Amino acid sequence: MQLIEPKVVPPLDADFRPAVLADKNFQLNTQLVGVRAVLGLERGAGDISRFETVVYPEGHPDFASNFSYIERIVKFLLWQRGGHTVYVGAPKAVGEHVRSVFSANGAQKFDFHFMGTQVYEKEFSVVICGADEVPAACETGKLLGRNLAGYRIGFDLGASDRKVSAVVNGEAIYSEEVIWEPRKNSDPDYHYREVMTALRTAAGKMPRVDAIGGSSAGIYVDNRPMVASLFRGIPAEKFGDIKNMFMRIRDEMGVPLEVINDGDVTALAGSMSIEDNGILGIALGSSEAAGYVNMEGRIMGWLNELAFAPIDYSPTAPVEEWSGDKGCGASYFSQQCVFRLAPKAGIEVPVDVTDAEKLKFVQKKLEAGEDGATKIWQSMGIYLGYGIAHYAEFYDIKHILILGRCTSGRGGDLLIEGAKKVFKTEFPELLKKIELHLPDEKIRRVGQSVAAASLPVV
């Protein structure tokens, strides 16, 4: 697959080869000679996503380039939308390549095991078929949120603190943050007690409770945490108690309850604040987190784990430490990127401090106007421009909400400046289509707790 050098080069990464440029070049070259290729991803109770493109026909001299093109598209779709079964409606050799790569011993064996047994509790499989045989799309999403009437509880479970609010007709009348250590606790009862304590505290501030909504980092399927860093201390034999914890809490509290990924709640809060839809929220923190509200205001039930979705096809791209893949979002849109680029910028980051302190160390240099630190955020802004252009191939977007600790101070302005420079140079159509936002008072008008509390329908 031909890789295209960007017109806007990150000052600290001359080897960067944006996924969006390679994909668009491939699509341009296959436009007149190609055959239809359809990918389908089945992820739950009849939920199916589809993605259509064009590939080289059998016998074409560039046929082999189909393999890397489709493999990268499947990789992105799996982490964007999720799926335990992938339908490849394309020339048979392309399907066979995807099946080989996404197998128990293939190059993407991490995805095979993770998406199959861990997330969807099914054997992961690849079905090779004709383009017309891929099942029809079936994903209406959930019209969650914006339900403000009544007495509600909203909570957010973080790695270092848990937050809860008592919300009456859309106004938080009481909120608290309590320090906790979920990652260090291996007893599911610890997590249950902590969450119940928070809920009972908020419930005590209101005459009754009509509904409960929550957000938490991790992958949630039908109110069940399938994978979450908060629960990394829970042994596998006890994880079933965690998966069913919120069902248990719902039954004991006796009211509707919804828990979803915190990125989706952030996007929902942004949507409620600016009173518009088509929002993709991207948080540049310890990793990359994302959430999406579609054009109809629905939360799709997609994974939106863009930290593990590729945006750089360079053979020298950094390896993501967990999944083992190259060029994934976490290495470009998080503090991991700051630490990766710091040596190239001539900055020696202290090794005997926490990651949060490391980031602050570099950010102080940024605020002081040091050239090396400035180039780090300029590079990240260029990454962001090409990354958003790539995301726009898979999401229908009107607004990008950029958040997280890497956006504080001068960093946020440099990120927006870099992204807009890329749009102006490479994708002028996106300047009119997509609006970039840093959180301001308008965006913060509806807080995370209120948005979470609004999730359930009564």
* pLDDT at residue 381 is higher than 90: yes
CA dist 54 and 28 (Å) reads 9
The arithmetic mean of pLDDT across residues 83-102, rounded, is 98
Model's pTM, two decimal places?
0.92
Looking at domain 267-445, does it have CATH number 3.40.50.300? no
- 99 versus 218: which is more confidently predicted? 99
The arithmetic mean of pLDDT across residues 104-123, rounded, is 95
Sheet with 161-168, edge to edge strand ranges: 171-179, 161-168, 151-157, 211-216, 257-261
Instruction: Look at the alpha carbons of 125, 131, 134, 140 in this order and tell me if their dihedral is positive or negative.
Output: positive
* pLDDT at residue 445 is higher than 70: no
Indicate the range of 139-143, 232-236, 329-333, 383-387 predicted with least confidence: 139-143
Strand 161-168 versus strand 151-157 pairing type: antiparallel
DSSP string, 368-434: TT-HHHHHHHHHHHHHHHHHHHHHTTTS--SEEEEESGGGTTHHHHHHHHHHHHHHHHH-HHHHHH-
How far does Cα 260 stand from its chain's mean position?
Answer: 13
Q: Can you state the angle between helices 245-253 and 188-203, rounded to 10 degrees?
A: 30
Residues 6 or more apart in contact with residue 391 via CB below 8 angstroms: 280, 306, 397
Rounded to the nearest integer, the mean pLDDT of the chain is 94
Confidence of residue 393 (pLDDT cuts 50, 70, 90): very high
Q: What pLDDT score does 421 carry?
A: 98
Which two tokens mark 220?
């949630």
Confidence of residue 7 (pLDDT cuts 50, 70, 90): very high
Confidence of residue 145 (pLDDT cuts 50, 70, 90): confident
Q: Tally the C-alpha atoms within 13 A of residue 367's C-alpha that lie toward its C-beta.
A: 10
**What is the domain partition of the chain in residue ranges?**
33-133, 151-262+448-453, 267-445
Q: Report yes or no: 30 and 23 within 8 Å, Cβ to Cβ.
A: no
Q: What pLDDT score does 181 carry?
A: 86
Residues 6 or more apart in contact with residue 268 via CB below 8 angstroms: 144, 145, 146, 291, 293, 299, 451, 454, 455
CA dist 381 and 349 (Å) reads 21
Q: Percentage of residues in the chain with pLDDT exceeding 90? A: 81
Q: What pLDDT score does 88 carry?
A: 98
| Type of residue found at 356 | A
Which two tokens mark 350?
């202290």
Confidence of residue 110 (pLDDT cuts 50, 70, 90): very high
Q: Is 43 strand, coil or helix?
A: coil
* pLDDT at residue 120 is higher than 90: yes
Neighbours of 131 (CB within 10 A): 17
The arithmetic mean of pLDDT across residues 97-123, rounded, is 96
* pLDDT at residue 224 is higher than 70: yes
Q: Percentage of residues in the chain with pLDDT exceeding 70? A: 99
* pLDDT at residue 442 is higher than 70: no
DSSP string, 44-112: SSS-EEEEEEEEPPTT-TTTTHHHHHHHHHHHHHHHHH--SEEEEES-HHHHHHHHHHTSTTSTTHHHH
pLDDT in tens, 262-297: 889 989 989 998 999 999 999 998 889 999 999 999
How far does Cα 423 stand from its chain's mean position?
Answer: 22
Homologous superfamily of the 151-262+448-453 domain (CATH): ATPase, nucleotide binding domain (3.30.420.40)
Do the two domains 151-262+448-453 and 267-445 of this chain adopt the same fold?
A: yes
- 448 versus 259: which is more confidently predicted? 259
* pLDDT at residue 444 is higher than 90: no
Listed ranges 156-160, 292-296, 343-347; the one with the highest mean pLDDT: 343-347
pLDDT in tens, 396-437: 999 999 998 899 999 999 999 999 999 999 999 999 999 999
Which two tokens mark 450?
């209120």
| Type of residue found at 445 | R
Q: What pLDDT score does 126 carry?
A: 98
Neighbours of 44 (CB within 10 A): 16
Q: What pLDDT score does 446 carry?
A: 63
- 44 versus 137: which is more confidently predicted? 137
Confidence of residue 334 (pLDDT cuts 50, 70, 90): very high
pLDDT in tens, 32-91: 999 999 999 999 778 999 999 999 999 999 999 999 999 999 999 999 999 999 999 999
CA dist 30 and 158 (Å) reads 46
pLDDT in tens, 175-223: 999 998 888 889 999 999 999 999 999 999 999 999 999 998 889 988 9
Rounded to a whole number, what is the distance in angstroms from the first to the last CA of the chain?
51
Which two tokens mark 85?
């079964």
